[in-house]
């Protein structure tokens, strides 16, 4: 038996009022979270693999070009359009349900702003729970400092 939908109401920088429907956990939330992990995990893994090598070009691992290719391939596999439709299904702007394709036509800035809220509201606890956030921040710190995995494990 399906419960009542939950909503997130917020205002975007243009002053428009937006309402999104939060994803039901089992039927939509977990499958979308899994697809998001399929985008993120290879990128983080590729970064860690790149940090194992001491080959730097202008202070950055050589693998950054490879990483961008991995991200693009993962985005293609994830069918980003379907993810957006799932995350923003039945979205309302100023009290009216909008057709996402038409509404975001030449309006990508608002799409990114609204997607950011939708991802945060639906998945913040998923990506920050169980120490995942701390591990990710450690990886980001290693990347920024140019530290290798071997150096980190020596500490």
User: Domain limits of the chain?
Assistant: 7-149
**pTM for this one?**
0.65
Rounded CA gap, 128 and 11, in Å?
24
Instruction: Write out pLDDT tens, residues 44-102.
Output: 665 555 554 444 444 444 445 555 666 666 666 667 788 889 999 999 999 999 999 99
- Residue 101 neighbours by CB distance under 10 Å: 10
Q: What is the 3-state secondary structure (H, E, C) of 17-67?
A: EEEEECCCHHHHHHHHHHHHHHHHHHHHHHHHHHHCCCCEECCEECCHHHH
């Amino acid at each position: 038996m399906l419960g009542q939908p939950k909503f997130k109401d917020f205002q975007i920088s243009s002053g428009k009022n937006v309402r999104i429907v939060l994803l039901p956990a089992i039927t939509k939330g977990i499958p979308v979270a899994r697809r998001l992990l399929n985008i993120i995990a290879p990128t983080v893994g590729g970064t860690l693999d790149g940090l194992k090598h001491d080959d730097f070009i202008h202070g950055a691992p050589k693998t950054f070009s490879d990483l961008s290719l991995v991200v693009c391939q993962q985005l293609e596999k994830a069918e980003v359009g379907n993810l957006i439709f799932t995350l923003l299904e039945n979205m309302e702007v100023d009290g009216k349900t909008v057709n996402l394709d038409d509404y975001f036509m030449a309006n990508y800035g608002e799409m990114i702003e609204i997607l950011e809220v939708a991802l945060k509201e639906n998945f913040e606890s998923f990506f920050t729970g169980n120490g995942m956030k701390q591990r990710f921040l450690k990886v980001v710190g290693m990347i920024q400092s140019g530290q290798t995995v071997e150096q980190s494990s020596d500490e």
